[in-house]
Amino acid sequence: MVTLIIAEKPNVARKIAYALAEGKPGRKTIGKVPYYEFTRDGKRIIVAPAVGHLFSLAPKTKIYGYPIFDIEWVPVYVAEKGKSYAKDYIKALATLAKRADEFVVACDYDTEGEVIGYTALKYACGVDPSKAKRMKFSALTKKDLLKAWYNLEPTINFGMADAGIARHVLDWYWGVNLSRALTSAIKRASGKWQVLSTGRVQGPTLKFLVDREKEIQNFKPTPYWVIKMLLEKNGGQYTAVYEKERILDENEAKRIVEEAKKGPAFVENVEVKQQNRHPPVPFDLGTLQREAYSAFGYSPKKTLELAQKLYERGLSSYPRTSSQKLPKNLNFRSILQNLAKLPEYKPFAHELLGKDKLKPVEGKKDDPAHPAIYPTGELPKPGELTKDEANLYDLIVRRFLALFMEPAVREIMKVVINSNSHRFILSGARTVKEGWLKVYGKYVKFDEVILPAFKENEPVKVIQIKREKKKTKPPARYSPAAVIKRMEDLGIGTKATRAQILETLYSRGYIEGKRKIKVTPLGMRVVEALEKNVPDIVSVELTKAFEEKMEEIMAGKAKKENVIEESKSQLIKILKVFKEREMDIGKMLMETTGTGATTSKTAARKAGAVKELSEEEEKAVKKAVDKGERRKEYLVLGKCPKCGGDLVVRYNRKTGKRFVGCSNWPKCNVTYPLLQRGEIIPTNKTCCGGAPVVKIREKGREYEICVDMNCRDWKKGKK
C-alpha cells in the first residue's frame, strides 16, 4: 500500500516528509523535481510537490474577439508564458501516481490550495478527486503535521474547491473579455495598438480610488480660525485651545480674542480620569498588512510574501486568514517557553509563564479554515532570517505576547480655563501603567503630555491669546494599507487576492505612488469611460454580490454551475452594451494623457496597462479589429521645409512617443518633437524656418504652438 501526499510547494513537501518520517526520509528526484519516500506505521508514503497552480484556464480555440466563454483547464505552461518549469512537476506527479494506491492532498487549506490539489489529482494524476483524503493544518510544525496525518479528513473540501473553481472561471470570463473589449475599443477608435485591462475586482477597486482622486481635485479649501491661549505655570509653558475648535468668521475670532484678553483667567474645572487600554486583538492578514505598513512601510504584497516565508519555515501560522481568534487547543505555555530562549523576549515570556492562567485577548472575526496568525514556538536559527523577515517575525511575536498581558492604564487630564466667560481647554495624557505596552510599545505610540497639578478657581498666568488662520484640507490619498482596508469594508476581493489586485493596478499604469496613491490620467480615463458607458464594470455592488455567492458555494448553499451561469449572463449583457458603444469608449480612452497607444506592440508593453498575449493571439487581435477597416492615414501637419514632402505624426517604435517626421524618410531626416499630451489639430500655419504650427486641445482648453521647440514665441496664441 503506497500513499502519495501532494504538497503545494517543494519546501513544504520537505517539511511534511521530515515531520512524518520515522527516520530520515529518502530524497529522490524525477528530472529536476524532488520527492520523498519513507515509512510510517508500516505504510509506504511518498510526498511530492506541486509548484503552486499546475493548471490554468485557457480558451479552447485561438479565435480572438469577445465574448468568449468556451474555456478548459490546461497545463499552466500552455496558458502562460514563462511557466515551462511546471512541465517537470506535472510529469513527476503523473509518474508517481502510477505507483500509488491512496492519495492525500496537503496543499494550503483554502480555496486556492483546494483548486491546486483538485486539478493536480484530476489532470496530472488522472485520479477522481473525490477518492483523495485531506490533511488539514495551519502550521508546519511536526506536532501540527502529525496531528493532521492521524486525523485525515475523508475527502477534500469540495465546498472550497467549487468556490475556488468558480472564482477562477469568473475572473477569467471578466478579465479576458473586458480586456479584449478595451483593446478593441482603442484599436477601433485610433488604429493604434494598446492592450488595456480590467477585471471583476480590479475595476471597482480602481473606481473608489478615482472617486477619491476627484474629491481631491474638486476640493476647495475653506478658511477658518483657531484661538489659542499660551499660559505659564511652575516655569513651564502650555497651550490651551478655545472650546469651539473652528471659528468660521474672522470677525467673530477677533472679538473672542479681544474679550478673552481682558481676563481675568482662572481654572474653572479640572477633570482627571483613568482609562484602560486593552491589548490589540490577534492578527488576521489584513491587520498584519496594515500594521507592517505602519511600522516598516511594507506594501501589502510584501507583507504577505514575508508572512508566507515565515509560515513555510514553520515559524508562524498560516497567514491567509480572516480570523482574530487563536486555536482553543493551542499550547500557550509551550510556545512561551520556547520564545523565552530568545533574549529579546525572555523577560516578557517569563512574566507570563508566572501566571496561573493564560487567557489571550481575542477579536470578533472568525475563519472556519484557519485561526489568527501566531508564532508556533519554533525558533529561527541565527542568521536564518533576512532583515525584513526578522522585522515581521518580531511584530508577530510581540503581538502574541501582548495578548496575555494586563491592560495599559492612561491618565487623561482636562483643565477648563475661563477668561472673561470664554473657555479654553488644556489637555494632558500620560501612561501610568505600561501593561502590554512593555512588549508592544515599539509599534504603538501614545502621546505623553504631562501637565502640572491644577486646582479649581486658581488664577492662571496668561502670556498670550491669539488667533491662527487655517484652511480645511482635502481628503487624504489612500495608502496601500488603506486600500486593503477599504476593499475589506466593501466586501470585494479576498484576503488572499487583495494585495495582488493593488499590484496589478500599479503594473497596468493606472496608479502610482508608494505611500500616497495617485490615480494616473490613464486610470482616470479608463474609469470615466467605463462609468459613463458601462457602469456595471466598475460596480462595487455587482462584485460584492458575486463574492457573497462564492461564500455560499463554500458553505454548500449554492452550486458553482448556477453562479457561473448567472455571472456569464450578466457579463453578456454588459458586453452587448460595450460593443454598441465601443467607438465612444475608444475615443474617450484616446483623450488620456500618456495612454501609450502605439502601432508598436513592444512599446505598448512598456507603456504600462499591458497584458501579454501569445503570438497567435496577437495576430488574431490585429485581424479581428482591422477587419472591415482601412488603415488609418497619417495625420498631415504641413509641408517639409527641406524636401517638400508631408510632415506627419509618427510614433517611435521603442518608446511609443509621438513626433513629427517627413513622409520621405529615410531619404529625408527632418523631425520635430511633439508634446505627448492632448489632441493635435493642423492649422496650415508655419513659423520658424517653415516649421508647422499646430493646435493642442486638452482638458477643455486649446492653444497653438510651433513644433520647433527652440522658437522664441513658442506658444502662438494660447486661448
Pair (315, 383) in one structural domain: yes
| Alpha carbon distance 94, 97 (integer Å) | 5
The predicted pLDDT at position 643 comes to: 84
Supply the CATH number for residue 40's domain. Answer: 3.40.50.140
pLDDT score of 576 more than 80: yes
| Alpha carbon distance 339, 568 (integer Å) | 52
Question: pLDDT for 352-363, tens place per residue?
Answer: 999 999 999 999
| Alpha carbon distance 500, 504 (integer Å) | 6
Q: How many CA atoms lie within 13 A of 163 on its CB side?
A: 24
In a domain, 191, yes or no: yes
Rounded mean pLDDT, 124-138: 97
In a domain, 202, yes or no: yes
Pair (527, 640) in one structural domain: no
In a domain, 321, yes or no: yes
Q: Comparing C-alpha atoms, which of 201, 172, 117 is closest to residue 499? A: 201
Convert 13-33 to b/e letters by CB count within 10 Å (16 or more is b).
Answer: bbbbbebbbeeebeeeebeeb
In a domain, 598, yes or no: no
Q: Comparing C-alpha atoms, which of 605, 590, 468, 548 is closest to residue 81? A: 605
DSSP 441: G
Convert 281-312 to b/e letters by CB count within 10 Å (16 or more is b).
Answer: bbbbbbbbbbbbbeebebbbbbbbbbbbbbbb
Q: In what order do the strands lie in the sheet with 701-706?
A: 679-686, 692-698, 701-706
| Alpha carbon distance 163, 179 (integer Å) | 24
pTM over 0.95: no
| N-term to C-term CA, the chain | 85
The predicted pLDDT at position 634 comes to: 64
Beta carbons of 373 and 288 less than 8 angstroms apart = yes
- Quick one: three-class SS letters along 558-581? CCHHHHHHHHHHHHHHHHHHHHHC
Tell me which residue range forms the domain holding 10: 2-156
Catalytic residue (choose from 298, 318, 374, 510): 318
Rounded mean pLDDT, 95-122: 97
Pair (313, 388) in one structural domain: yes
Pair (27, 149) in one structural domain: yes
pLDDT score of 656 more than 70: no
Strand partners for 30: 33
Domain count, the chain: 5
Pair (241, 319) in one structural domain: no
The answer for 31, left when phi > 0, alpha when psi is -120 to 50, beta otherwise, is left
Pair (275, 189) in one structural domain: no
**Mean of per-residue pLDDT scores for the chain:** 89
Question: pLDDT for 382-398, tens place per residue?
Answer: 999 999 999 999 999 99
Q: Comparing C-alpha atoms, which of 58, 268, 206, 260 is closest to residue 512? A: 206
Pair (434, 394) in one structural domain: no
Pair (137, 9) in one structural domain: yes
- Angle 436-442-445 from CA coordinates, rounded to 5°: 85
In a domain, 609, yes or no: no
Beta carbons of 490 and 204 less than 8 angstroms apart = yes
pLDDT-derived band at 598 (thresholds 50, 70, 90) equals: very low
Q: How many CA atoms lie within 13 A of 719 on its CB side?
A: 10
Question: Domain boundary residue among 402, 420, 454?
Answer: 402
Convert 496-515 to b/e letters by CB count within 10 Å (16 or more is b).
Answer: bbbbbbbebbbebbbbeeee
Residue 40, classified by CB atoms within 10 Å of its CB into exposed (0-12), middle (13-18) or buried (19+), is middle
- Angle 386-390-396 from CA coordinates, rounded to 5°: 150
Rounded mean pLDDT, 239-250: 96
Supply the CATH number for residue 235's domain. Answer: 2.70.20.10
Distances (CA, A) of 492 to 111, 382, 482, 561: 16, 41, 14, 21
Pair (79, 141) in one structural domain: yes
Higher pLDDT among residues 589 and 599, named by residue: 589
Question: Domain boundary residue among 402, 435, 461?
Answer: 402
Pair (72, 108) in one structural domain: yes
pLDDT-derived band at 653 (thresholds 50, 70, 90) equals: low
Supply the CATH number for residue 548's domain. Answer: 1.10.460.10
| Alpha carbon distance 258, 603 (integer Å) | 66
Pair (75, 151) in one structural domain: yes
Question: Domain boundary residue among 402, 420, 455?
Answer: 402
Could you confirm whether 318 is annotated as catalytic? yes
Question: pLDDT for 481-540, tens place per residue?
Answer: 999 999 999 999 988 899 999 999 998 889 999 889 999 999 999 999 999 999 999 999
In a domain, 597, yes or no: no
Q: Comparing C-alpha atoms, which of 525, 431, 543, 650 is closest to residue 167? A: 543
In a domain, 719, yes or no: no
Q: Comparing C-alpha atoms, which of 171, 169, 165, 71 is closest to residue 117? A: 165
Question: pLDDT for 345-386, tens place per residue?
Answer: 999 999 999 999 999 999 999 998 899 999 999 999 999 999
In a domain, 616, yes or no: no
pLDDT score of 629 more than 50: no
Pair (24, 144) in one structural domain: yes
DSSP 538: G
Q: Using CA of residue 452, residue 453, residue 456, residue 458, what is the dihedral sign? A: negative
Rounded mean pLDDT, 599-620: 40
